[in-house]
């Protein structure tokens, strides 16, 4: 019984991109499939670096890692689109939209205590 990586011999998407052997305990394997994984991982590796992301994932409980990979991938793609603001550019745009609609006076916008008595 030799160490056989993911079993079928094909590395996960991350290891495929990094051109390295995929270990049986590879931290990326559950989140990066062999087909779409490499393209997805390319942005993450470019922005954060593979070893930083693997260290980060190891500090996160296993049941939260899937969500973390989704947000890291989102942030990496945003950071490539906009190297200065990253996903904050999107947040600013949404804040602009909200402030343009200020005349609707959403209930949370003013603490005038009108309902208190
Ligand atoms: Zn791997």
Each residue's pLDDT tens digit, 37-48: 999 999 999 999
Give pLDDT, residue 103.
66
Instruction: Report how far ligand 1's centroid is from the alpha carbon of 27 (Å).
Output: 7
| Interatomic CA distance for residues 99 and 78, integer angstroms | 23
Sign of the Cα torsion 65, 66, 67, 71 reads positive
Question: Are the C-beta atoms of 111 and 92 separated by less than 8 Å?
Answer: no
Task: Count Cβ atoms within 10 A of the Cβ of residue 5 and give its class: 0-12 exposed, 13-18 middle, 19 or more buried.
Answer: middle
Instruction: Report how far ligand 1's centroid is from the alpha carbon of 55 (Å).
Output: 14
Give pLDDT, residue 6.
44
Instruction: Report how far ligand 1's centroid is from the alpha carbon of 21 (Å).
Output: 7
Instruction: Give the N- to C-terminal CA distance of the chain in Å, as an integer.
Output: 75
């Amino acid at each position: 019984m030799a160490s056989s990586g993911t079993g079928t011999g094909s590395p996960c998407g991350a290891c495929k991109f990094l051109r390295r052997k995929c270990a049986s305990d590879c931290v990326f394997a559950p989140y990066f499939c062999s087909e779409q994984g490499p393209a997805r991982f390319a942005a993450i590796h470019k922005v954060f670096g593979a070893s930083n992301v693997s260290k980060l994932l190891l500090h996160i409980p296993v049941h939260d890692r899937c969500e973390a990979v989704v947000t890291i991938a989102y942030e990496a793609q945003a950071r490539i689109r906009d190297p200065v603001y990253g996903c904050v550019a999107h947040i600013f745009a949404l804040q602009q939209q909200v402030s343009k609609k200020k005349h609707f006076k959403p209930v949370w916008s003013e603490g005038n205590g009108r309902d208190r008595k």
